[in-house]
Structure 1
Amino acid sequence: MKIGIVQTKPVKGDVVANLADHQKWIGKAVERGVDLLVFPELSITGYEPTLARELATTKEDERFDAFQWMSDKYGIVIGMGMPIWASETDGDRAGGGEAGVMIGMIIFQPDGPRRVYAKQYLHADEVPFFVPGNEQVFLSIDDNRIALSLCYELSVPEHSVNAYSNRANIYLSSSAKTAEGMDKALNTLTGIACTYSMIALISNSVGPCDGAECGGQSAVMNDKGEVLAKLGSSYEGMLIYDTATGKVTQVSGTTRDRLTA
C-alpha cells in the first residue's frame, strides 16, 4: 500500500483555485500508484476560521463530483479538508446544541459513499467558530488500519489511545500548524509512534493561515519514531510512504528540493 501526504499552499478562501490544485496533486499521486492521499487541514479553503461559516458546505456539493470520479476511476482514497455544515441528523457532529460548522475531512472512496471525519477535539481558539464531531474515523486498506487525526487532536492523549484501542497501525494527521507548532507536533508524534508502534504521518500547509504562517515540515515516521523523510518549511510537495518496503518517495511541487531526513 502507498500512502501520500501533500503539503500545499492554499489560496485564502478561493475554493475554485484550491480544488484545481488538489486535482493536480491527485494526478501526480495516481501516476505513482498511491492508494490513499491526504491533504492538510481545511485544504480547500485554507485554514481561515473567520471564513468558515461563509464557505461551509456539505459532502455532496457538486463541486466535489470530479473527485469522486477520480476516486472511482483510479481506485484511490482521497481525504480533503473543508468546513462542513453540521445538522441534527448527520451523526458526524456532537449531540445537542444548535447546528454549526465542523472542521471536516471529506473522504472519497472508490465506488463507495463519501464520508466526513469531523474534528472531535477543538483547540480553544476554534470553539467560537466550530462545533466538534463525535466519532473517530478509521480507514481499512489492505492489511492496514489507519486512524485519522485533525491537527490539535494529536496533542490529546485520548485520541491516540483510542486509535491504539481500535488496532490502528498507522496514525495520520492532517494539520495546519506554524513552524513552532510543528516542532511540538513532531515531538508528540514521536511519542505516539514509539508508545504504540505505529507508523505516523503528518500533512501540513505552507503560506498564510489565520493571520500567521503555516510551517510545512510534513513528515513520515516509522514505528520507532524515527523520521524517514520530512519536507521543508516553505514549499509544496508530496511524500509517498510504501508500507511494503518502508521507503519514502518525495514528489516536488513548484520548486525542486532535496529530500531531508
Structure 2
Amino acid sequence: MSGWNVAAAQSGSRPGDITWNIQHHLEFVRLAASRHVDLLMFPELSLTGYELPLMAELALSLDDPRLQVFAEAAVEYQMGISIGLPLIGENNVRLSAATFLPDGTRFAYSKRNLYGEEKQIFVQGVAVPMFGHQRHNVVMAICADISVEKFAQDAARQGADLYATSVLVSEQGYQQDCDYLARWSRDYRMAVMMANHAWPTGGYQSAGKSAFWGPDGRQVVQGGSGEQLIIARRSGNHWQGEVHPLPCTSVL
C-alpha cells in the first residue's frame, strides 16, 4: 500500500472578508506543499467565516474567478484542496465544501444535516461524491453531518479510506463529536480527519484541536490552539501524526 499524506488546516477566518481569507488560505496551502501533503482540508465556511447573516450576500458559484487560485495551486502542488464556503445554486444557497484536484477537476459537497439557523438559510445537500484512487478514496462530511451514523456507514460502503470532515466545534461539543468520529473510524474501518477553526467565528469560540483517527479508532494526532497544520502520514498500514504551527506572515 502506497504512502499518503493528509492534513487539516486549522485556520482562522476574518468575518466576511473573502479576499483576505483567500490569501490566508494560500499560506496554509504553501505550508502544506512544503510538507508534501497530498490532501488539505479547511474548516466549515473557512472562506467567509461562520457568519450566517452574510451568507446570501457572500455566496459564490463553483466557477467564481476568485476560486481559480485554488485550482491553480492544486495543479502546481499536485495536492487536493478542500475549502468551506456558501455555494450559490439555482435560487438557493448551500453550505458547502469545494474541492480542487491535481488533475484540474473541481466539485462541491453540500451539508446534509443542517443545524439550527442554517435550516432557514441553506438548502440541504444530497449528492455525496467520493474522490481518489488506489486506496486513497475520500468521502466528506460537514460539521453536524458527523452525528449521523448512516452518513458514515454509506461512506464506508462506497469504499472510503478517509472520512474527511470540516467543522466548527466549540469546547462544549468537542468531546461528543470526537466520540462520534472515533466510533465511525473503529466501526467502519476507515481513517477519519477533522479540520476545525482556529479563531472565534459567528459568535462561537472554536475549540481548535483538529484531529485524525486511524481505521482502528485510535487517535493518531490532535492539534492544540491557534493556527496549525495537522498532518497524518500513512506508510503501509501505519499512520503517524505531526503538528506544525503556521509561520508568522505579512498577510493583511
**TM-score scaled to structure 1, two decimals?**
0.89
In the alignment, which residue of structure 2 is the partner of 1:242? 233
* Aligned AA (2:55): A
- Aligned-pair CA distance for 1:103: 0.6
Cα offsets for 1:40-64 (capped at 9, x unmatched): 0100001111111110010111111
RMSD over aligned Cα atoms: 1.4
Q: Distance in 2 between matches of 1:212 and 1:34?
A: 29
Cα offsets for 1:21-58 (capped at 9, x unmatched): 11001001111111111100100001111111110010
In the alignment, which residue of structure 1 is the partner of 2:68? 65
In the alignment, which residue of structure 1 is the partner of 2:106? 114
Higher RCO (CA 8 Å, separation ≥ 6 residues) = 2
Please show how residues 152-167 of structure 1 align to structure 2 within 5 Å.
152-167=144-159
**Contact kept in structure 1, 2:110 and 2:125, CA below 8 Å:** yes
Q: Distance in 1 between matches of 2:133 and 2:25?
A: 22
Q: Distance in 1 between matches of 2:223 and 2:173?
A: 15
Cα offsets for 1:179-204 (capped at 9, x unmatched): 11221110111110111111111000
In the alignment, which residue of structure 2 is the partner of 1:172? 164
What secondary structure sits across from 1:107 in the alignment?
Answer: strand
Matched, 1:149 2:141: yes
What secondary structure sits across from 2:114 in the alignment?
Answer: coil
- Aligned-pair CA distance for 1:119: 1.1
Please show how residues 216-235 of structure 1 align to structure 2 within 5 Å.
216-232=208-224, 234-235=225-226
Matched, 1:9 2:9: no
- Aligned-pair CA distance for 1:81: 0.6
- Aligned-pair CA distance for 1:206: 2.3
**Contact kept in structure 1, 2:221 and 2:232, CA below 8 Å:** no
Gaps of 5+ in 2: none
What secondary structure sits across from 2:137 in the alignment?
Answer: strand
* Aligned AA (2:230): L
In the alignment, which residue of structure 2 is the partner of 1:91? none
Structure 1 range deviating more: 122-131 or 146-155: 122-131
**Contact kept in structure 1, 2:135 and 2:161, CA below 8 Å:** no
- Aligned-pair CA distance for 1:113: 2.8
- Aligned-pair CA distance for 1:17: 1.1
What secondary structure sits across from 1:247 in the alignment?
Answer: strand
Q: Distance in 2 between matches of 1:188 and 1:111?
A: 33
Cα offsets for 1:65-121 (capped at 9, x unmatched): 11111111221110001100022xxxxxxxxxxx21101111111232311111122
What secondary structure sits across from 1:135 in the alignment?
Answer: coil
Q: Percent identity?
A: 27
**TM-score scaled to structure 2, two decimals?**
0.92
In the alignment, which residue of structure 2 is the partner of 1:253? 246
